[in-house]
Amino acid sequence: MAQILIVDDDHQLRQSFERLLLAEGHEVRTAASGEAGIEAMRASLPEVVIMDVRMPGMSGLEAFRRMREIAPKLPVIVMTAFGTTETAIEATKMGAFDYILKPFDIPQVLKLITDALAAGRFMRGRVEVDASSASESEEALVGRSQAMQEIYKAIGRAAPTDATVLIRGESGTGKELVAKAIYQHSLRADKPFMVINCVAIPETLLESELFGYEKGAFTGASARRVGKIEQAHRGTVFLDEIGDMPLSIQAKILRLLQERHIERLGGRQPIPVDVRIIAATNRDLEKAVAEGQFREDLYYRLKVVTMRLPPLAERAGDTPLLAEYFLARYAREMHLQSPGLTPDAARYLAARPWPGNVRELANTVHKALIFNRGGPLSEAEMREAAEGQERSKAARMEVESDGRLQEWIRSELTAGEGRDAFDGLMDRFGSIIIREALTLSGGNRTRAARMLGLSRPTLLSKIDKYGLRIEAQVSAADD
């Protein structure tokens, strides 16, 4: 749930937006002019603004400029009717998050809002590097092992330069978190951060997503479109899963790195862009180069500053620290006191292999906390959470039968008085339900959506909202 502000002089459009977004569980405010929009923003800051560029009175562009002054990182989505795309493009160049053309394609609008919310949260949230008492900070890189100390130093050295950084490491080792930390400690911290997941976007769309296109570049290109890289001008672009990027696009990225300009599809003149590139992959790039899947010249260009995130098994002593950190974080989310770990439980976690690395550890701790029967988490509880679905299914039955669930709801209600306890609880249940549907569907989101009776975009927005990530392989196999 997020606060969204709609600014449009068209009464009907405001209403239909309001209805749509309320149904999605958002809080919506509306304003009929640029002036009123700015007023509304001053009264209370929304998380996303959706604004028409063509309104009587203050122009959309002027309104956008002032909003930018009030909240430089607030994502603003600009709406435009066919024929006024130039204004929308201008707004994007001034830093608007993106623009949409009327009439709207609803799933597309919802997806854009989800992306804008994620981008806003991403830019706002601070990542503390090497926090000794991390539990109170919003997000932190936790770990005191020698291997992680080296990473902190590398972040400190690389962040304030404009150097391209390549982050490598197995799945779940924290590559995205490190990318975020580099961005936030860089000189571009107050400029946009654009995340592009090279596997999540179908190959046919990736090129136009990244580079944009000119009108008539291909069938269906009825108006010019600015790509993500151009939108991130003066900011940072995070190319996640770059090892999976198609060769044709690799060539264009290489050109961007060498010549500092891009070309829109169907465009004739190069457009200079100033972006810093951070890339990440869990692929064996050397092998990909040998097999002709990855350009050697791009590989050399990227690897100048490389950070190799060690698997959890190589971070001696960090596992219990991380477990305590996640326990504190999840407990806070549930308005509970962290129950802590017994020494046996800590030893068990430290000795166990974690093929899914930090992500798997975090999920296990989360599960254990949900089913905790009171008192510090024991080795048995941890084992139960760590070992497969069968055991956790049994535990769930127990939760229902021993009144633990009711007890938890009661504690939420008393702790959450005056806060939005209902929404908080529903979110917790929602996240459990969706996680289960994804498990049953083997990670296939289309099947999970069918199982849940949700539209696919709605499911995707919820996955995003609850931070439920799916492994890359699974998402690639989806659809």
Ligand X SMILES: Nc1ncnc2c1ncn2[C@@H]1O[C@H](COP(=O)(O)OP(=O)(O)OP(=O)(O)O)[C@@H](O)[C@H]1O
Binding of ligand X by 358 (CB under 6 A): yes
Q: Which of 95, 199, 451, 55 is nearest to 459 (CA)?
A: 451
Tokens 């166990």 belong to residue: 352
Q: With CB under 5 A as the contact rule, which of the stretches 176-184, 214-222, 254-262, 292-300 interacts with Mg ion? A: 176-184
For the bound state, the minimum distance from the C-beta of residue 173 to ligand X, rounded and expressed in Å, comes to 4
Phi and psi at 160, nearest 5°, equal: -75, -5
Binding of Mg ion by 244 (CB under 5 A): no
Phi and psi at 276, nearest 5°, equal: -100, 135
Q: Which of 74, 309, 290 is nearest to 176 (CA)?
A: 309
The residue among 95 and 172 lying less far from Mg ion, judged by its C-beta, is: 172
Q: Three-class SS of residue 52?
A: strand
Binding of ligand X by 177 (CB under 6 A): yes
Separation between Cα atoms, residue 74 and residue 183, nearest integer Å: 17
Binding test (CB under 6 A) with ligand X, winner from 117, 362, 459, 463: 362
- The DSSP line for 59-80 is -HHHHHHHHHHH-TT--EEEEE
The residue among 52 and 176 lying less far from Mg ion, judged by its C-beta, is: 176
What is the SS3 string spanning 263-312?
A: CCECCCCCEECCCEEEEEECCCHHHHHHCCCCCHHHHHHHCCEEEECCCH
Binding of ligand X by 174 (CB under 6 A): yes
Number of residues that bind ligand X (CB under 6 A): 17
Binding of ligand X by 303 (CB under 6 A): no
For the bound state, the minimum distance from the C-beta of residue 173 to Mg ion, rounded and expressed in Å, comes to 9
Binding of ligand X by 359 (CB under 6 A): yes
For the bound state, the minimum distance from the C-beta of residue 424 to ligand X, rounded and expressed in Å, comes to 20
Q: Report how far apart, in Å, the C-alpha atoms of 476 and of each of 118, 148, 445, 471 are.
A: 21, 30, 11, 9
Beta-strand pair 225-226/212-213: antiparallel
Separation between Cα atoms, residue 65 and residue 51, nearest integer Å: 12
Q: From Mg ion, ligand X, none, which one binds at residue 458 (CB under 5 to 8 Å depending on kind)?
A: none
Number of H helices, E strands in the chain: 22, 16
Q: From ligand X, Mg ion, none, which one binds at residue 177 (CB under 5 to 8 Å depending on kind)?
A: ligand X
The residue among 195 and 449 lying less far from Mg ion, judged by its C-beta, is: 195
Binding of ligand X by 171 (CB under 6 A): yes
Separation between Cα atoms, residue 48 and residue 117, nearest integer Å: 6
Binding of Mg ion by 176 (CB under 5 A): yes
The residue among 238 and 326 lying less far from Mg ion, judged by its C-beta, is: 238
For the bound state, the minimum distance from the C-beta of residue 89 to Mg ion, rounded and expressed in Å, comes to 30
Q: With CB under 5 A as the contact rule, which of the stretches 149-157, 169-177, 299-307, 330-338 interacts with Mg ion? A: 169-177
Binding test (CB under 6 A) with ligand X, winner from 173, 231, 338, 372: 173
Phi and psi at 197, nearest 5°, equal: -95, 110
For the bound state, the minimum distance from the C-beta of residue 312 to ligand X, rounded and expressed in Å, comes to 9
Binding of ligand X by 175 (CB under 6 A): yes
Instruction: Enter the tokens of residue 112.
Output: 């854009």
Binding of ligand X by 181 (CB under 6 A): no
Binding of ligand X by 169 (CB under 6 A): yes
Radius of gyration of the chain (CA): 23
Q: From ligand X, Mg ion, none, which one binds at residue 169 (CB under 5 to 8 Å depending on kind)?
A: ligand X
Q: With CB under 6 A as the contact rule, which of the stretches 61-69, 88-96, 356-364, 419-427 interacts with ligand X? A: 356-364
Q: With CB under 6 A as the contact rule, which of the stretches 33-41, 169-177, 217-225, 334-342 interacts with ligand X? A: 169-177
Q: Nearest residue to ligand X, using CB?
A: 174
String marking each residue 117-156 x if it binds ligand X according to CB under 6 A: -----------------------xxxx-------------
Binding of ligand X by 172 (CB under 6 A): yes
The answer to whether the CB of 453 falls within 8 A of the CB of 443 is: no
The residue among 141 and 210 lying less far from ligand X, judged by its C-beta, is: 141
The answer to whether the CB of 61 falls within 8 A of the CB of 41 is: no
Cross-sheet strand order for the sheet of 27-31? 27-31, 3-7, 48-52, 76-81, 98-102
For the bound state, the minimum distance from the C-beta of residue 328 to ligand X, rounded and expressed in Å, comes to 11
| Binding-site ranges for ligand X (CB under 6 A) | 140-143, 169, 171-177, 282, 322, 358-359, 362
| Binding-site ranges for Mg ion (CB under 5 A) | 175-176
